[in-house]
A and B are shown apart, each in its own frame.
Chain A
Amino acid sequence: MAMKISTEKFNDRVEQGIHDSFMRGAVAGAQDGMGVKRRVVTTDELSNWEDWRNHAEEIRQHVLANLDYYLEQLSENIAQRGGHVFFAQTKEEANEYIRGVVQRKKAKKIVKSKSMVTEEISLNAMLEEEGCEVVETDLGEYILQLDDHDPPSHIVVPALHKNKEQIRDVFAQKIGYTKTSTPEELAYHARVTLREKFLEADLGITGCNFAVAETGSFCLVTNEGNADLVTALPKTQITVMGMERLVPTFEEMEVLVSMLTRSAVGQKLTSYITVLTGPREELDVDGPEEFHLVIVDNGRSDILGTEFQSILQCIRCGACINVCPVYRHIGGHSYGSIYPGPVGAVLSPLLGGYDDFKELPYASTLCGACTEVCPVKIPLHQLLHKHRQVIVEKEGKAPFSEKMLMKAFGLGAASPALYNMGSKMAPVAMNPFTVGDKISKGPGPLKAWTEIREFPAPNKERFRDWFKNREKGGE
Chain B
Amino acid sequence: MKVTLFATCIVDLFQSNVGKATVELLERLGCEVEFPPSQVCCGQPAYNSGYVKEAKEAMKRMIETFEHAEYIVSPSGSCAFMFREYPHVFKGDPVWEPRAQKLADKTYELTQFIVEVLGIEDVGARFEGNVTYHTSCHMTRLLGVKEPPMILLKNVKGLKFTELPGKERCCGFGGTFSVKNVAISEQMVDEKVHHVEETGAQYLVGADAACLMNIGGRMERLGKPIKVLHIAEVLNSR
Contact = CB atoms under 8 A, between A and B. Distances in A.
A444 B27 CA distance: 39
B54 A365 contact: no
A413 B183 contact: no
Contacts of B58: 409-410, 413-414
Interface string B67-90: 000000000000000000000000
Contacts of A446: 179
Contact of A364 (B35, B53, B177): B177
Given A326-B188, A453-B214, A410 B57 contact: yes
A452 interface: yes
B232 to A, nearest CB: 12
A440 B51 CA distance: 28
Nearest to B11: A463
B161 to A, nearest CB: 23
Given A413-B43, A414-B57, A415-B61, A362 B13 contact: no
Contact of B217 (A411, A453, A467): A453
Interface string B161-195: 00000001110111111111111111111010000
A369 B45 contact: no
B43 to A, nearest CB: 6
Residue of A325, A365, A387, A402 with most partner-chain B CB within 10 A: A365
A366 B41 CA distance: 19
Nearest to B61: A414
A462 interface: yes
Contact of A458 (B7, B13, B142, B175): B13
Contact of B49 (A363, A406, A414, A440): A406
Contacts of A438: 220
Contacts of B183: 11, 14-15, 18
A388 to B, nearest CB: 3
A131 interface: no
A90 to B, nearest CB: 30
B7 A365 contact: no
Contacts of A388: 48-50
B61 A452 contact: no
B31 interface: no
Contact of B180 (A362, A392, A406): A362
A468 B186 CA distance: 38
Nearest to A31: B169
A325 B170 contact: yes
Contacts of B38: 416
A326 to B, nearest CB: 6
Interface in B7-57: 7, 9, 11-16, 18-20, 23, 35, 37-41, 43, 45-46, 48-55, 57
B93 to A, nearest CB: 16
Given A406-B54, A467-B19, A18 B60 contact: no
Interface in A412-459: 412-416, 419-420, 423, 426, 438, 440, 445-446, 448-449, 451-459
A462 B49 contact: no
Residue of A364, A398, A464 with most partner-chain B CB within 10 A: A464
A290 interface: no
Q: Is the interface of A mostly helix, strand, loop or mixed?
A: helix
B15 A452 contact: no
B14 A393 contact: no
Given A365-B174, A389-B50, A415-B61, A426 B188 contact: no
A96 B175 CA distance: 46
B230 interface: no
A368 B48 contact: no
Contacts of A362: 176-177, 180-181
A423 B12 contact: yes
B207 interface: no
Contacts of A448: 178-180, 182
Contacts of B170: 325, 365, 367, 369
A447 to B, nearest CB: 8
A196 interface: no
23 contacts: A18-B184, A325-B172, A330-B187, A367-B138, A369-B169, A389-B52, A392-B50, A406-B46, A413-B43, A413-B54, A414-B40, A420-B37, A423-B12, A440-B221, A448-B182, A449-B179, A453-B220, A454-B217, A456-B217, A462-B13, A463-B19, A466-B19, A466-B20
Interface of B: 7, 9, 11-16, 18-20, 23, 35, 37-41, 43, 45-46, 48-55, 57-58, 60-61, 65, 137-138, 141-142, 168-170, 172-189, 191, 213-214, 216-218, 220-221
Q: List the 5 shortest-distance A-B pairs measured between CB atoms, nearest first.
A: A365-B174, A388-B50, A410-B54, A453-B217, A414-B57
Given A453-B218, A454-B216, 18 more contacts: A329-B187, A362-B180, A366-B174, A369-B170, A389-B52, A390-B50, A406-B49, A413-B43, A423-B13, A438-B220, A449-B178, A452-B189, A453-B214, A455-B217, A461-B16, A463-B18, A464-B37, A468-B37
